[in-house]
Amino acid sequence: MLKYIMRFEQLDRCPVCESPEHAAKFTLPDYLYAVPGTFEYVTCAGCATVYQNPRVALEDLEQCYPSNYFTHFAPGAAAPDGPHDAGRWTGTLRKAIRRYADGTSADDISAFAKFSGAILAWIPGAARWARYGVRDPLAASGNGGRCLEVGPGAGNTLRRLHWIGWEAFGLDVDAAAAATAQAATGCDVKVGTLTGVDFPDGYFELIFMSHVLEHLPDLRASMERCFRLLEPGGRLVVVYPNPESLGIRGTQQFSVNWDPPRHLVLPPMNAAINLLKSVGFQDFETRTSAGSAAGYRKIGRQYRAGRTGKGFENTKPSIGDRAFALYETVLVMFGAPVGEEIRITAWKPMN
């Protein structure tokens, strides 16, 4: 049982650009789970990264994740043997589309199915449907490579990565969360950190982390290890909350993107790119996403109204929330980097 006796450590420089200069931003309580205390955040003068300072000490970080945190729930069912439509015509069609869109092997399907897949792969969204919702940056190639998901949560994405052809591994610092993901996926999910895990260098073709970067107390060292763990030409895909989103401009300190005390560091997109360049990555694809805008705005309104400390409320976004999300979506479509999530794909050079 957590006793909530937290120690803090003062950071003398930004965890992203290492600038020693910063300005106070705000002091926040834990709106989501009511972990006792208040938590201070500052803005880096060098790269505009928002980070917790003083920060919860490394040995006390587990106290930020109460027993009802979402990764602590048991899966309730053993891992399925495969996709729900394996052996059915939809499963065959998915495989045929992936053969054309991603170059994966599909020798066990008919010539007609292959032809159908080649035609259907031209339809927008067909490839993502064929991958059970997995986005393009996470697509498996034809060589059956290895991928690592850091922080797989309940294992939903890790399971699908395995289904579409990856030899998929997981990694989580929380033993209970790792057990949940392994039971739900059948994949090997190790307990540990990126800087401490014993995978050999060059072992993975893909490393994926969704809403993990902002939790890392050793961000630079973790990105350096990702670079070493990737094979030449391999890619890192990160998704994390945008500290410069349109939603934050409206909800300010009540934005779910801050999530104190669990979120330790939130770099703007350019700051994250510069960090990844400094550890060796060279080519990048970047964008923001407004897909969570309605839900995030709903949560911010709840926090502002004082409905806090009980986890996420199971209520639907309002019409106003949906209208706001539509506006944000249009801005993102026209290239404005104001979506609630930042998505970065970074490649390790071939030599």
Smallest Cα–Cα separation from 2: which of 326, 261, 293?
A: 261
Q: Which residues pair with 22 in a beta bridge?
A: 44
Per-residue model confidence as pLDDT tens digits over 237-293: 999 999 999 999 889 999 999 999 999 999 999 999 999 999 999 999 999 999 999
What pLDDT was estimated at residue 85?
A: 84
Measure the CA dihedral 178/180/185/186, to 10°: 70
The identity of residue 335, as a single letter, is G
Looking at every residue in the chain, the average pLDDT score rounds to 91
Per-residue model confidence as pLDDT tens digits over 326-336: 999 999 999 99
- Cα–Cα dist 78/85, whole Å: 17
With pLDDT > 70 as the criterion, what percentage of the chain qualifies? 95
Per-residue model confidence as pLDDT tens digits over 199-226: 999 999 999 999 999 999 999 999 999 9
Q: What does residue 228 show for φ and ψ, rounded to 5 degrees?
A: -70, -35
Q: Which residues contact 131 (CB under 8 A, 6 or more apart)?
A: 94, 98, 102, 138, 139, 160, 164
For 222, the token pair is 């973790």
- Cα–Cα dist 86/77, whole Å: 19
Residue 54: asked if its preceding bond is cis (omega within 30°), the reply is yes
Helices (H) and strands (E) in the chain, counts: 10, 13
Q: Which residues contact 213 (CB under 8 A, 6 or more apart)?
A: 219, 238, 240, 265, 272
Per-residue model confidence as pLDDT tens digits over 51-94: 999 999 999 998 898 877 766 555 545 556 678 888 899 999 99
What pLDDT was estimated at residue 241?
A: 97
E strand or H helix that includes residue 321: helix 319-333
Residues 183 and 75: beta-carbon distance below 8 Å: yes
Comparing 325 with 2, which gets the higher pLDDT? 325
The identity of residue 35, as a single letter, is V
Query: Beta 204-210 vs 230-241: how paired, if at all?
Result: parallel
Query: Beta 188-191 vs 22-29: how paired, if at all?
Result: unpaired
pTM of the entire predicted model: 0.92
What pLDDT was estimated at residue 78?
A: 53
